[in-house]
């Protein structure tokens, strides 16, 4: 604890000179461009795939399986592959985001369009409409609201990811941050964090506005196109890429690697469990202190802002900072997952408390109980269900995130992957990628089965 | 069937609840939903409120329960003016008014005995209320059991509330009101979501308990035939005011078709 203060003070004051802020503009624009360009590609790929699934054309079942599989490769892993194959820079980041979010959005569109009500579509088909007409006049209008809402949500999440891919050489603000951390230039790191939090806050507001006026989502198409033109990989050396890709096969682990595999996996799981556990405890406290129906505004307002800062800094960025100041290892990884998760969960917990059904609370208050007692007897028990669901989803999410935290030095299976990449042991690297992939897919499936069994719906937040 | 105004002279001596010139405008309502309400209810008296939905039955009950403030007039319960009380004094008075709602009134994640003993919260300290959630004493559980016995649910003492049927949940709500031992018990459409057999059993239970324990019971219903069968007095809420026996006559054709 004695060493904490000098460490923290190294980050202050932030560099706020006009010339440095101007210098940060290109990376910020690059990050925004990465998100816009990759999402443009992702939507372009997803719409036809989603419509095919919605019309239940033959072959959609294997298609959905493929999409689910691609989605199970963590975005940072895709990014590291793209960086190896196509070189460091925004082009690799854009490609990685387009591949990952292409799968995510296509799966989402397919799921939405497959739940379109059948009778109107059958009536339309009975008039002799062709498939394309069915899609244009039946499927898309029926599900327009859902498509736009969830489209805006994924766009928001892609923006955060576009900062993160920079951490492995994908360009933008993330790459800038890695550079400053490597140079131990902590005051500039603080400036970059302030810029990051501001950008995310502005985009959050924009996303809220877009959800209310979804038509304007279409205005992002020309922006996306422009970004695509600016950041598309310039020198695609396909021969080289194919050659390097060939070197990754067949994947292989040495005997020593096999022996170390279980401890590494445990380290990854521990990171997720410890991070989520700590976050749940912190969020229980801060969620209650920020819920509008429980806490006074003078307390809730500043704490809400603090939680916003915690969650607008992505896990990987927290990880980069903590590793730079506290050293590599799973503790830093768990703390990074915990800080971001605490911010996310505090908001979800607060919402659960605010949305607890009113009638039973009024009934308890009607017996003459005091405010504290009404909270303990009605508000909290009524919110526990949603709180448990949110915590479970967060654990699932963190298990996935823990596999990539190693890529920035937080230990576990991701660390092994990163070390292999640094030493150009590509066959080992591919083996770790495949292992990670299978594990994430397993967690995904287990969580989906659990969700279906208890009829829980994922709530985007 | 006695006109509310004509009843006033007789009731003034032993009236438990007295309303005079009451006007209520719930939040967001431009003009009063209820006006010129005058009513006297004695201890042990069972009063039914009937009338089409949207006429103000629920608003009147929620005003009496202290959930909505009146904009004019007085509510006197047991010699205290409900309309003038704030904070702790209001809470104390509310603990003497029990409320049974149509449904969604119990805290479903809690156990049955916890929902029942919620009726005691008005007289318990905060510490005791928190302690009960983790460690109920056997004396407290015995009280919960005896309240549940009165509604025929003693065997469900430790059951999760969510696992109970609609009729059983309604009886738990009544048991909670019994633990509260209120002077006035309000019931808002307590049988609206129940089948006819269960509905009769619940009304029978409510009215007999009110008589036996000397509580005043005010109950809103939309089945006039049930109102005339179980209650001492039936009043109709029509266009924001209380009227007398007309409701019962208007109800006659309904009874034939029901």
The pLDDT tens digits for B105-147 are: 899 999 999 999 999 998 899 999 999 999 999 999 999 999 9
In the structure, what pLDDT confidence band is assigned to residue A2 with cuts at 50, 70 and 90?
A: low
A234 and A327 share a domain?
no
Query: Can you give the residue range of the structural domain that contains A346?
Result: 259-461
Q: Is A360 an 8 Å CB contact of chain B?
A: yes
In the 3-class helix/strand/coil scheme, how is chain B assigned residue by residue? CCCHHHHHHHHCCCEEEEEEEEEECCCCCCCCCEEEEEEEEECCCEEEEECCCCCCHHHHHHHHCCCCCCCEEEEEECCEEHHHCCHHHHHHHHCCEEEECCCCCCCCCCEHHHHHHHHHCCCCCHHHHHHHHHCCCHHHHHHHHHHHHHCCCHHHCCCEHHHCCHHHHHHHHHHHHHHHCCCEEEEECCCCCCCHHHHHHHHHHHHHHHHHHCCEEEEECCCHHHHHHHCCEEEEEECCEEECCHHHHHHHHHHHHC
A35 and A177 share a domain?
yes
Of A343, A341, A342, A322, nearest to A410 by C-alpha is A322
Q: Is A323 an 8 Å CB contact of chain B?
A: no
DSSP three-state, residue A202: helix
**Residue B92: its chain A contacts at CB < 8 A?**
368
Residue B6 pLDDT > 50, yes or no?
no
Distance between start and end Cα atoms, chain B = 23
**Residue A365: its chain B contacts at CB < 8 A?**
94
Whether B169 is covered by a domain: the verdict is: yes
Which pLDDT does position A180 carry in this prediction?
Answer: 87
Distance from CA of B91 to the nearest CA of A (A): 4
Q: Pick the range with the lowest mean pLDDT from A408-417, B33-42, B84-93.
A: B84-93
In the structure, what pLDDT confidence band is assigned to residue B251 with cuts at 50, 70 and 90?
A: very low
More confidently predicted of A199 and A231: A199
A100 and A176 share a domain?
yes
Question: Tokens standing for A318?
Answer: 């927290």
Calculate mean pLDDT across residues A337-342.
95
Last residue of a domain, one of A207, A226, A247: A247
Rounded-to-integer distance, Cα A166 and Cα A33, Å: 13
Q: Contact, B122 vs A367, CB < 8 A?
A: yes
Whether A199 is covered by a domain: the verdict is: yes
Whether B60 is covered by a domain: the verdict is: yes
pLDDT over 70 for what percent of chain B?
A: 88
Which pLDDT does position B3 carry in this prediction?
Answer: 44
Q: Contact, B143 vs B179, CB < 8 A?
A: yes
Last residue of a domain, one of A218, A247, A276: A247
Residue B63 pLDDT > 70, yes or no?
yes
Which pLDDT does position A146 carry in this prediction?
Answer: 77
More confidently predicted of B198 and A455: B198
Among B82, B97, B129, B185, pick the best mutation site for testing chain A contact (most A Cβ within 10 A). Answer: B129
Q: Contact, B137 vs B84, CB < 8 A?
A: no
A232 and A93 share a domain?
yes
Which pLDDT does position A461 carry in this prediction?
Answer: 34
A327 and A283 share a domain?
yes
Residue with tokens 């307590």: B190
Question: Tokens standing for A384?
Answer: 């526990």
Q: Which of residues 372-431 of A touch B (CB under 8 A)?
A: 372-373, 376-378, 381-382, 384-385
Among B58, B85, B107, B123, pick the best mutation site for testing chain A contact (most A Cβ within 10 A). Answer: B107
Distance from CA of B186 to the nearest CA of A (A): 11
Which pLDDT does position B8 carry in this prediction?
Answer: 42
A239 and A266 share a domain?
no
> What are the strands of the beta sheet with B15-24, ordered from one edge?
B34-42, B15-24, B72-77, B80-81
Residue B7 pLDDT > 50, yes or no?
no
A336 and A425 share a domain?
yes
Partners of B220 in beta bridges:
B49, B188
Q: What CATH number corresponds to the domain at position B228?
A: 3.40.50.300
Rounded-to-integer distance, Cα A213 and Cα A149, Å: 10
Q: Pick the range with the lowest mean pLDDT from B1-5, B160-164, B189-193, B207-211.
A: B1-5
Among B114, B115, B118, pick the best mutation site for testing chain A contact (most A Cβ within 10 A). Answer: B118
More confidently predicted of A313 and A208: A313
Average pLDDT, chain A: 85
More confidently predicted of B111 and A167: B111
Distance from CA of A281 to the nearest CA of B (A): 20
In the 3-class helix/strand/coil scheme, how is A248-266 assigned residue by residue? CCCCCCCHHHHHHHHHHHH
Which pLDDT does position B96 carry in this prediction?
Answer: 86
Q: Contact, B12 vs B4, CB < 8 A?
A: no
Calculate mean pLDDT across residues A394-400.
89
Say if residue A250 is preceded by a cis peptide, omega within 30 of 0: yes
Among A358, A363, A374, pick the best mutation site for testing chain B contact (most B Cβ within 10 A). Answer: A363
Q: Dihedral, CA atoms, A265, A270, A271, A275, nearest 10 degrees?
A: 150
Which pLDDT does position A81 carry in this prediction?
Answer: 85
Which pLDDT does position B9 carry in this prediction?
Answer: 41
Q: Contact, B20 vs B205, CB < 8 A?
A: no
Whether A403 is covered by a domain: the verdict is: yes
Rounded-to-integer distance, Cα B210 and Cα B202, Å: 12
Whether B13 is covered by a domain: the verdict is: no
Q: Is B180 an 8 Å CB contact of chain A?
A: yes
Nearest residue on chain B to A366, judged by CA atoms? B94
Exposed (0-12), middle (13-18) or buried (19+): which is A22, by Cβ within 10 Å? exposed
Of A284, A384, A386, nearest to B110 by C-alpha is A384
**Residue A384: its chain B contacts at CB < 8 A?**
109
pLDDT over 90 for what percent of chain B?
A: 28
Q: What CATH number corresponds to the domain at position A145?
A: 1.10.3720.10
Residue B255 pLDDT > 60, yes or no?
no
Which pLDDT does position B216 carry in this prediction?
Answer: 92
Rounded-to-integer distance, Cα A297 and Cα A301, Å: 6
Which pLDDT does position B258 carry in this prediction?
Answer: 32
Whether B35 is covered by a domain: the verdict is: no
A329 and A233 share a domain?
no
More confidently predicted of A241 and A196: A196
Calculate mean pLDDT across residues B7-23.
67
> Residue ranges of the alpha helices (H) in A165-185?
172-182
Question: Tokens standing for A186?
Answer: 């902590």
Its ipTM equals 0.79
Tens-digit pLDDT profile for residues A222-242? 888 888 888 776 666 777 777
Q: Contact, A404 vs A77, CB < 8 A?
A: yes
Whether B155 is covered by a domain: the verdict is: yes
Calculate mean pLDDT across residues A139-146.
79
Distance from CA of B164 to the nearest CA of A (A): 16
Residue with tokens 């904490």: A4
| Total domains in the fold of chain A | 2
Whether B17 is covered by a domain: the verdict is: no
Whether B8 is covered by a domain: the verdict is: no
**Which residues does B211 contact at the CB level (< 8 Å), separation at least 6?**
B44, B46
More confidently predicted of B126 and B256: B126
Residue A85 pLDDT > 90, yes or no?
no
Which pLDDT does position B248 carry in this prediction?
Answer: 44
A–B CB contacts, 8 A cutoff, strictly below: 78
Query: Can you give the residue range of the structural domain that contains B144?
Result: 43-64+95-244
Say if residue A13 is preceded by a cis peptide, omega within 30 of 0: yes
Which pLDDT does position A459 carry in this prediction?
Answer: 41
| Total domains in the fold of chain B | 1
Whether B197 is covered by a domain: the verdict is: yes
- Give the DSSP letter string of A92-152: HHHHHHHHHHHHHHHHHHHHHHHTS-HHHHHHHHHTT--HHHHIIIIIHHHTHHHHHHHHH
> What is this structure's pTM?
0.80
Whether A439 is covered by a domain: the verdict is: yes
């Amino acid at each position: 604890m004695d060493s904490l203060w000098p460490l923290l003070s190294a980050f202050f004051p932030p560099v706020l000179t006009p010339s440095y802020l101007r210098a940060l503009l290109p990376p910020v624009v690059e990050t925004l461009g990465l998100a816009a360009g990759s999402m443009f590609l992702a939507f372009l790929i997803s719409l036809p795939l989603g419509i095919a699934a919605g019309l239940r054309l033959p072959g959609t079942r294997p298609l959905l399986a493929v999409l689910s599989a691609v989605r199970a490769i963590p975005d940072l892993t895709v990014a590291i592959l793209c960086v190896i194959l196509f070189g460091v820079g925004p082009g690799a980041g854009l490609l990685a985001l387009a591949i990952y979010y292409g799968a995510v959005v296509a799966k989402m569109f397919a799921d939405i369009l497959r739940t379109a009500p059948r009778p109107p579509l059958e009536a339309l088909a009975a008039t002799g409409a062709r498939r394309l007409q069915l899609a244009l006049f039946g499927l898309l209008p029926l599900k327009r609201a859902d498509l736009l809402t969830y489209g805006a949500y994924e766009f928001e999440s892609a923006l955060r990811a576009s900062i993160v891919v920079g951490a492995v050489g994908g360009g933008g603000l993330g790459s800038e941050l890695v550079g400053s951390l490597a140079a131990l230039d902590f005051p500039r790191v603080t400036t970059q964090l302030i810029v990051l939090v501001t950008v995310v806050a502005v985009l959050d507001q924009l996303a809220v506005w877009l959800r209310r006026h979804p038509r304007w989502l279409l205005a992002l198409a020309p922006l996306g196109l422009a970004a695509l033109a600016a950041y598309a990989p310039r020198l695609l050396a396909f021969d080289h890429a194919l050659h390097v890709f060939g070197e990754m096969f067949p994947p292989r682990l040495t005997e020593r690697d096999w022996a170390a595999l279980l401890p590494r996996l445990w380290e990854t799981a521990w990171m997720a469990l410890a991070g989520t556990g700590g976050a749940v405890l912190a969020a229980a406290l801060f969620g209650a202190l920020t819920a509008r129906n429980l806490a006074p505004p003078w307390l809730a307002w500043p704490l809400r802002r603090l939680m916003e800062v915690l969650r607008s800094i992505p896990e990987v960025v927290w990880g980069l900072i903590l590793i730079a100041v506290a050293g590599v290892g799973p503790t830093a990884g768990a703390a990074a997952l915990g800080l971001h998760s605490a911010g996310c969960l505090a908001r979800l917990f607060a919402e659960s408390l605010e949305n607890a059904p009113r009638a039973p609370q009024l009934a308890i208050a009607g017996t003459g109980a005091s405010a504290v007692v009404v909270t303990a007897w009605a508000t909290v028990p009524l919110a526990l269900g949603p709180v448990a669901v949110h915590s479970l989803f967060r654990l699932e999410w963190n298990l996935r995130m823990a596999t990539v935290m190693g890529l920035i030095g937080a230990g576990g299976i991701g660390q092994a992957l990163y070390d292999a990449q640094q030493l150009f042991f590509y066959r080992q690297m591919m083996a770790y990628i495949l292992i990670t992939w299978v594990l994430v897919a397993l967690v995904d499936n287990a969580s989906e089965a659990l969700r279906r069994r208890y009829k829980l719906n994922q709530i985007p937040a | 069937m006695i006109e509310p105004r004509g009843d006033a002279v007789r009731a003034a001596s032993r009236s438990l609840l007295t309303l005079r010139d009451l006007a209520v405008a719930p939040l967001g309502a431009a003009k009063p939903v209820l006006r010129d309400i005058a009513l006297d209810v004695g201890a042990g008296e069972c009063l039914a409120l009937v009338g089409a939905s949207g006429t103000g039955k629920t608003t009147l009950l929620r005003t009496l329960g202290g959930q909505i403030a009146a904009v004019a007039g007085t509510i006197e319960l047991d010699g205290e003016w409900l309309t003038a009380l704030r904070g702790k004094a209001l809470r104390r008075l509310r603990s003497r008014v029990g409320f049974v709602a149509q449904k969604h009134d119990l805290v479903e994640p809690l156990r049955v005995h916890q929902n029942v003993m919620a009726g005691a919260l008005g007289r318990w300290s905060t510490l005791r209320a928190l302690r009960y959630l983790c460690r109920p004493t056997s004396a407290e559980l015995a009280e919960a059991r005896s309240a549940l016995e009165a509604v025929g649910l003693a065997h469900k003492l430790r059951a999760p509330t969510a696992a109970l049927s609609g009729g059983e949940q309604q009886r738990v709500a009544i048991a909670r009101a019994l633990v509260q031992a209120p002077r006035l018990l309000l019931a808002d459409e307590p049988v609206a979501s129940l089948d006819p057999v269960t509905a009769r059993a619940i009304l029978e239970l409510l009215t007999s308990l009110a008589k036996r324990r000397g509580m005043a019971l005010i109950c809103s219903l939309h089945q006039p035939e049930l109102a005339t069968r179980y209650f001492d007095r039936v009043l109709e809420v029509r266009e924001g005011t209380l009227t007398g026996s007309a409701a019962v006559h208007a109800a006659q054709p309904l009874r034939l078709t029901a």
